[in-house]
Structure 1
Amino acid sequence: MNAQAPTPRQRPLTLGILAADIDTAVALRLVAGIIDEARLRGARTVFLPGHPPAASAEFDRQFNLVFRLPDATAFDGLLVIGTTLQYHLNATQLDNFLATLPKVPTLCLGFASQVVPSVVNDNHGGFRALMSHLIEEHGCRRIAMIAGPAGQAEAEARLAAWRDACTDAGIEVDPDLLLQGNFTQASGRAAMSALLERGATVDAVVAANDDMALGAMACAVDHGLHVPQQLRFGGFDDILAAGRLGVGLTTINQSHYALARASVAQLIERIGGAEVTPLTRVPTRLVRRQSCGCGGFYARPETFAAQLDVRLAGMLEELAVAPEHEANYRAASLLVEQGLARALAEQDFQPLLAAVQTVARDVLAAEGHVYGLQALLVAAQRWLIEPRGLAPEAWAAVARWLQQAQIALAGLQDVAQQARHRLHSERALAFRDLLKTRIATFDLQKLLEHLSEALADLSLDTCCIALYSGEARISSLDDFDLPGEARLLYAFIGGRERPSLNGERFRTHDVLPADAWALAADSTSLIVYPVFHGAEHFGFIVFSVDPVAGGPWETIRDEVSSALKASLLVSELAAARDALRSDLAQARQGQRELADIAHRDELTGLLNRRGFLAEARLRADMLSADGLATAVIFADLDGLKPINDRHGHAAGDVAIRQAGEVLRRGFRSADLIGRIGGDEFVVLTANADPDALSAMRERIYRLFERASQDLPFPLACSLGYVVSPPGVPVSLEDLLARADSVLYEEKRRRKGAAWHTGV
């Protein structure tokens, strides 16, 4: 018997969260705030991460089918994360998208909608506070503005605040002091350079975000200007880099975590029948640092200990620590202060180093990085060291200690990042290999038998796979409705498999059958991805959400989709053999398609890891037997994480596809090219000597530079290669390992070259 869909009285409050680019750093902070507030109020959340709604590619349209999942009977309310969607849609398009959603209480986060209530950060008020500080506290009258992209809501609000603040202070709005940027450091540098060329008299420069402000400040310093003595600077966002520079950037702090919590609270109030205002602005706060002329807190040595609390409070305010981390950073500041005091007393760096290392371990475990601790050491110079009035020789020693501490932190950060990257890569590859090795016959049942082991190894709490009743093909997203019924193919809940739920039928819009929901906590948080291959849409896969670490959600989705497609092809082939045993050609064609699916990467069309290794071993043996040299080339896409963080996961997919096309064009048709990891490619070629390969590498680099010209982000890669001489027995694994080592040497060389040239 089919499970009955739970009624609103039988289940906890259910919120649907619609978003794009769910895996960026900003998005994960929003996710954390949404989950925390929902759990506090006893509500469960279902995240529905699509791709840009305006996208035309079939791959993107398939992902956007999750936007059709919520309906008025299964979801009590919808929260739309406009913060990320507005980077893909203009205001009219985003409002049109909101108008298509089910008629349930809906709220937009981060975008001021005209059709649903919205909660946004107070961009105008925050920027007014920055302007008022410069005008009233520092007497600035000639304040240049580097505006953000025209038409972008947040940029327009900050530009309006600049104009209003000038007008209210009786300052003429000089068009020569208004420059345009696009939220990047490069555009901030360009705007500052243009301002200097105009020769205008300027007291201060403000920018619509921190990246542009930091770029402008760097340009000013390059031109010999002293900050803040000759020129003051201010920004907006309070990004991590704002407090890490030698001259900290005065800026406006906006908490995405607080914004998310306020949005959930207001949505739940609206669900309960309360009237909510059309637009709620979450307050921001001014963070004063050195770039505007605000220095540290100074005290005479005899009052130093008595004013420790005041100084620590000043440090926390300057660092703009999020409220949920204030206790941790206060404890860290105290430990650093104790280590510094002991180091000064003993005239030895080791106590300070021990304190910094202890704090770093705790910060890395809690936040995954030490950027906040690096900023704390910069602030410590003004709040903990300068007030002591040290003698010159003692001050010189402390300056060396701080530099050594920052170097130690950078080393710890690199080690932690490498360990996480290696662990993530190893787990992702192990997951792929585990599934593909154990379902070589493309038996779906074997996939499900071994999936639990892989999920447990990834420490994933929940993973459920649901298939629609029947098969759906996508022709037009506008005309497509999800099938009304689905059945649970696989259930892994609470860290273990639940075979009793397999085969349970339920209403598609309920996401899971009632019995599966009953096993999850009332305040659980899930994320839903579509399961598809090409134009065929099978169902969806549901995971638990970890807002700190994210998750290998799309990796699992890709593997399950390929396995389902393969199993369906096997079924079709079996039916064809039973019905038309004489039609061998059809069966062979099906087998070729099946083999191609197993050996091809869906995103790029190149050989996948399994396909490349299989063909490369045969090719390497043949080349060795023929007495020909064999070369293996490793290519690693540079900067994929910044592309994902700034432009979203869809842009990362574009970067990977474009990289595959560049490599396909750059090598011969006879060469083997494969994508063996998220951003890793490998090529096997013959008759290539080291000089030819060196020239080839530079040509590939140029091809990547040309490809970047048509993209909104830089596209580049690093290449490492090794050559096995003719007639020497070849071990493919040895060549791959050596090429991988050479690749990282090349990365360090290119990074060092970029540093020396100031790139």
Structure 2
Amino acid sequence: MQGGVPHRREAGLATAEPDGHRAHVSGARLHRRYLTREPREMSEKRRTIAFLMDYVGGDYQSEVRFGIERAAEAHDVNLVIAFGETLALPGEGGAAQNSVYQLIGPETVDGIIVASATLCHHIGIEGMREFFRAYAPLPVFSIGMAIDGIPSLIVNNGLGIDLSVGHMIDVHGRRNIAYVGGPANNEEAKARADAYWGVLAARGLPLDERLFAVGAFTIDSGRVAIRDILDRGVEVDAVVAANDKMALGVIELLAERGLRVPQDILVSGFDDAFIARFSKPSLTTVRQPMKRLGAQAMDTMMRMLDGEVVEDMALLDVELTCRESCGCRVQASASLSPSASTPRDGPSLVAARRESLETALRRSVAIPTGSLDGWPGELLSALEDELAGRENRFRHALEALLDAAGRAGAILDHFQGVIDVLRERLGRPPSGGGGVALYDALERLWHVSRMVISSASMRVEGERRLTVELAATYLSWSARSFSTCLSLPSLKRVLASELPVLGISRAAVSLYDDAPEAQRGVMRSLFLMEDGREVDPPAASFPARRLAPDGFLGGRERTTMIALPVAFGDEEKFGVAVFSSGAHELIYDALRLQIGSATKAAALHREMVRQVEARERLEQERVRQESVVAARIQTTLVPERLSVAGLSLCAVMKPAAEVGGDYYDVLATADGGWLGIGDVAGHGLAAGLVMLMIQSMVSALTRRDPRASPARVISAINAALYENVRGRLMRDEHATLLLLRYERSGRVTFAGAHDDILVCRAKTRRCVCIPSSGVWIGTLPSINELTRDAEFVLEDGDVLVLYSDGVTEARDAHHEQFGLERLCTTIEAVQTESVVVIRDRILKEVEGWCPSPDDDITIVVARYRAPRQP
């Protein structure tokens, strides 16, 4: 490209056209035909199309899905979007998450569109061919991967890389161009990699394999790939990546190595993802029409269902968008050279160029197929009205266009190119007379228009950010609720309360029937929601391939639904969830994980409850066996390593003959850590079960929010424990629980009810008793008003001692308790010794006092060391 004029390629032929900093590629269509089944009768019910992809979120996935959804609306067909991660190889992990794909069939849908480029990373083209074959005789369509015998739609990946690498060579004079490719089994990645080598060969540059590395289409893999290339010692002056995320990873790693982009190394990507426009520097990239991919795929599927012949494969245009990362910058409008032959008069100025202007305007902005047809003509008519004296007509038309384009998914910043085209084509008239006045009026109009576009773009991005922040907030709240679901009834209550808040009005969560003969081919509805309200699900089971109870997917109104697997890990599949669309994309994948985890927790909890109830019916021998199980639970949950910054720690737990429910835990955090100690009333497996519940919830809640209020954590645990123990187990176990949130500065915030906290001060060598003021957990449905945070501060050398009542209430032969005073005396006697010596001395004194204790003994000792001053 010379003199700011990019090379334009069309069907493989290079042409030149003054089109700003965008190089376009027009797709060549292959003409082999694909004949489908006969068209449906007009009287049949509304069609349903399935769209399969790995995730609903992601730059590529979101854009393609948007195009699919809009086209489904235009064709008045139902849409089922099923996602369940990338397809796994046979025998490898991932089958549970992939299970939703196996349930899509003629029982539910009339045709299937597959985002093959998102599913193929592990199985390659042969695996995808087998994947499609399983859906016969349904019409199928592939996006992003050309598969023999399957109608396919792809972008011209090779020419996109040709443009990107060629731009680095021809415009910027770079010769040592590194390439970060995509997964080896991804056909798009292969095409892009082949194009990279082809461009170098065509221009006579050496084919140096040291400049080539493979990533996984993620930011982290881009970092790793460019790090490997740089570590090979090869000279690099430009990097081309096979997608934008890897390009951003490249930029991050280069910055860490002290290499500036674009001053030292140029970088470009592929896709034109949302983040590419707002990275620093903004990313040069190959823009593929992702929304159009989705829209055209749906259009073609409808033609197939109507019995039309369709192309076996079609290519779509791509274009190179140059930004800061390659050294190019979008030039201000002042850099455009206006024509010297522009007429002076107003409306005729537009009329004389109307046809060419409409063509140029249409090409300057990517708008999904079928959206806003005729907008260039309407905008030019408004400009003619403005020049004829109708003030603000153009601004109002532009504002309306931006509003509609935003709803259609267009990138509003691209409308700056509309103003560039108008200013360039209408240009500066000869000096003097009315021509100068007209030019000045146009310049003011262009200036106002740019401000209108900038304002609209900022507003859209602000709304997008607000939507993401709200989704993240709602997910944070819902995660807390899901984390304490230990039964299917509690899961149903959480779904009923949380789904409407998350923006989901219709939902069907169904689990595989427990009957062995069902062989996972039959489901039963667990939860059903209509119009934001829970409704009673049908009692009858239904074939799993219907995804939801009869009538849920086929109503009078057109619907778009999201189907996802209810699974845990790679192997355990429980069922399917189907939700209405419209919520933020982050929410659906989070729900997939949360519901799967909650269902797994409920299954584990249900199994444990079953075991508890069975054991309670056994005779004394069974009770003894229960004690063995309880002891195993109690001892295996003891933390293996006690490591918290600033604390020397040691602990001991000695179960009694009749195992109780003592509990302690130490959880390190970035700013300090959490210490917990408690005691479940009673003995045996039930006490161990309650202790297990407490430990699990403490771990989950404190890991999620390391700086949480101890009082709030205890209140949440109490609510779940009360419901589980009293409401479901029909038992009355309760517990003391004390939680301490320690900060590296020595500040300790605590809440709960347990034995007094002992702090032996280094300065006085005397013990200070700090009482806890809470209430037992599990006795009341809510203790929010009775639980408050309190604080104390550890100083350098102070010793903190936590203990169970098995220490202070140990009785000698005369039934005298060991007592708190004797415990303090024991600690003070060895205060300067190591924490191990202090712990062992306490244990020795207690065991000497009571050789056969009837309660568990738990001791936690910590010595605080203040941070060294610099």
Q: TM-score range by the shorter chain?
A: 0.5 to 0.7
Deviation of residue 14 (structure 1)? 3.9
Report the CA distance shift for 1:72/1:164 in structure 2 as closer, same or farther (over 3 A): same
Is 1:181–1:191's contact at 8 Å kept on the other side of the alignment? Answer: yes
Which residue of structure 2 lines up, in the alignment, with residue 261 of structure 1?
A: 295
Q: Please state whether the residue corresponding to 1:222 is helix, strand or coil.
A: coil
Which residue of structure 2 lines up, in the alignment, with residue 493 of structure 1?
A: 530
TM-score by length of 2: 0.52
Report the CA distance shift for 1:449/1:164 in structure 2 as closer, same or farther (over 3 A): closer
Confirm whether residue 373 of structure 1 aligns to residue 412 of structure 2. yes
Confirm whether residue 420 of structure 1 aligns to residue 467 of structure 2. yes
Deviation of residue 156 (structure 1)? 4.2
Which residue of structure 2 lines up, in the alignment, with residue 282 of structure 1?
A: 315
| Equivalent of residue 492 in structure 2, options 434, 443, 448 | 448
Q: How does 1:300-319 map to 2 (within 5 A)?
A: 300=340, 302=344, 306-307=348-349, 314-319=360-365
Q: How does 1:73-472 map to 2 (within 5 A)?
A: 73-98=107-132, 104-114=138-148, 116-124=150-158, 149=181, 151=184, 152-158=186-192, 173-175=204-206, 180=212, 222=263, 237-239=271-273, 253-270=287-304, 277=311, 279-284=312-317, 286=319, 296=336, 298-300=338-340, 302=344, 306-307=348-349, 314-323=360-369, 362=403, 366=407, 372-377=411-416, 380=419, 383-384=422-423, 387-388=427-428, 412=459, 415-433=462-480, 442=486, 444-445=488-489, 447-449=491-493, 451-470=495-514
Which residue of structure 2 lines up, in the alignment, with residue 591 of structure 1?
A: 690
Number of aligned residues? 592
* Uncovered stretches (5+) of structure 1, i.e. residues with no partner: 1-6, 226-232, 473-479, 633-683, 690-759
Report the CA distance shift for 1:80/1:593 in structure 2 as closer, same or farther (over 3 A): farther
Is 1:130–1:251's contact at 8 Å kept on the other side of the alignment? Answer: yes
Q: Please state whether the residue corresponding to 1:45 is helix, strand or coil.
A: strand
Report the CA distance shift for 1:57/1:367 in structure 2 as closer, same or farther (over 3 A): farther
Is 1:34–1:260's contact at 8 Å kept on the other side of the alignment? Answer: yes
Which residue of structure 1 lines up, in the alignment, with residue 27 of structure 2?
A: none
Is 2:176–2:236's contact at 8 Å kept on the other side of the alignment? Answer: no
| Equivalent of residue 54 in structure 2, options 4, 9, 20 | 20
1:240-289 Cα offsets, whole Å, 9 max, x none, are 67888999999764322222233334445556666655x41233155687
Is 1:526–1:543's contact at 8 Å kept on the other side of the alignment? Answer: yes
1:179-208 Cα offsets, whole Å, 9 max, x none, are 646678878999999999699xxxx99886
Q: How does 1:60-75 map to 2 (within 5 A)?
A: 60-71=94-105, 73-75=107-109
Aligned AA (1:502): P
1: CA distance between counterparts of 2:538 and 2:498?
Answer: 18
Is 1:143–1:206's contact at 8 Å kept on the other side of the alignment? Answer: no
2: CA distance between counterparts of 1:508 and 1:141?
Answer: 59
Report the CA distance shift for 1:83/1:191 in structure 2 as closer, same or farther (over 3 A): same
Deviation of residue 507 (structure 1)? 0.6
Report the CA distance shift for 1:435/1:604 in structure 2 as closer, same or farther (over 3 A): closer
2: CA distance between counterparts of 1:68 and 1:574?
Answer: 33
1: CA distance between counterparts of 2:746 and 2:261?
Answer: 57
Structure whose CA Rg is larger: 2
Q: Quick check: 307-316 or 609-618, which moved more?
A: 609-618
Aligned AA (1:387): G
Is 1:20–1:50's contact at 8 Å kept on the other side of the alignment? Answer: yes
Aligned AA (2:51): I
Q: Quick check: 321-330 or 184-193, which moved more?
A: 184-193
Deviation of residue 561 (structure 1)? 4.0
Confirm whether residue 553 of structure 1 aligns to residue 594 of structure 2. no
Report the CA distance shift for 1:160/1:553 in structure 2 as closer, same or farther (over 3 A): closer
1: CA distance between counterparts of 2:227 and 2:572?
Answer: 47
Deviation of residue 470 (structure 1)? 0.7
1:337-386 Cα offsets, whole Å, 9 max, x none, are 89x99xxxx9xxxx99x989968994897378xx9333434764574389
Q: Quick check: 397-406 or 120-129, which moved more?
A: 397-406
Q: How does 1:691-706 map to 2 (within 5 A)?
A: none
1:378-425 Cα offsets, whole Å, 9 max, x none, are 764574389358999999999999998899778756754553243223
Aligned AA (2:467): R
1:24-73 Cα offsets, whole Å, 9 max, x none, are 12112222233333454454333221123337999844312223223454
Q: Please state whether the residue corresponding to 1:113 is helix, strand or coil.
A: coil
1: CA distance between counterparts of 2:345 and 2:283?
Answer: 29
Aligned AA (1:587): A
Q: What is the root-mean-square deviation in Å for CA atoms of aligned residues?
A: 6.3
Aligned AA (1:314): A
In percent, how many aligned pairs have the same letter?
18
Aligned AA (2:553): W
Deviation of residue 20 (structure 1)? 1.1
2: CA distance between counterparts of 1:525 and 1:333?
Answer: 36
1: CA distance between counterparts of 2:137 and 2:175?
Answer: 47
Is 1:234–1:292's contact at 8 Å kept on the other side of the alignment? Answer: no
1: CA distance between counterparts of 2:423 and 2:167?
Answer: 25
Deviation of residue 612 (structure 1)? 9.5
Q: Please state whether the residue corresponding to 1:157 is helix, strand or coil.
A: helix
Is 1:287–1:317's contact at 8 Å kept on the other side of the alignment? Answer: no
2: CA distance between counterparts of 1:189 and 1:387?
Answer: 48
Deviation of residue 327 (structure 1)? 6.2
Q: Please state whether the residue corresponding to 2:412 is helix, strand or coil.
A: helix
Q: Quick check: 268-277 or 607-616, which moved more?
A: 607-616
Aligned AA (2:591): I
Is 2:419–2:446's contact at 8 Å kept on the other side of the alignment? Answer: no
1: CA distance between counterparts of 2:212 and 2:228?
Answer: 9
2: CA distance between counterparts of 1:43 and 1:25?
Answer: 25
* Uncovered stretches (5+) of structure 2, i.e. residues with no partner: 1-39, 252-258, 430-435, 617-622, 627-682, 717-736, 751-790, 797-870
Deviation of residue 460 (structure 1)? 1.4
| Equivalent of residue 31 in structure 1, options 59, 62, 65 | 65
Higher relative CO (CA 8 A, sep ≥ 6), structure 1 or 2? 1
Which residue of structure 2 lines up, in the alignment, with residue 525 of structure 1?
A: 561
Is 2:154–2:314's contact at 8 Å kept on the other side of the alignment? Answer: yes
